[in-house]
Structure 1
Amino acid sequence: MKDLYQVLEQKKTEIERVRREIEALHFVIPLLAENADWVENGLALPGSHSRETGIATAKGWQRREHQPPH
């Protein structure tokens, strides 16, 4: 039988690996999305304004209503 602390540490390591993978996916999604994907999901098109004005959270970029350029 495995030591419970060893199993717990292994699970913690696996959870951290999955978190890093999810973070990487959140990073590449905007790079892979087509313009139609952006429009379909109500997001501002890439290049229409800086993504740095968006709000990144653990769940990814928050949805913003379309705002005309300044």
Structure 2
Amino acid sequence: TLRENNCPYPDLANRDPSICQLEQEVFQQILGEDVVLAECCRDGGQYCEFQAGGGADTWDVES
């Protein structure tokens, strides 16, 4: 699990939500496995959380 406590590009995400999907695809390419956007600040979540594979480990990222 990768958790971004603050959206790195909130203005862009509010104008074009596809930026969240693009970030998900980048993580998939980097990690080489499926990644799911489980929670999103844009949708009222407390953070943006991407889950890869089993999602057993969690990393908090300050942006």
- Using the size of structure 1 for normalisation, the TM-score is 0.29
Question: Which structure shows the higher helix fraction?
Answer: 1
- Using the size of structure 2 for normalisation, the TM-score is 0.30
Question: Which structure shows the higher strand fraction?
Answer: 2
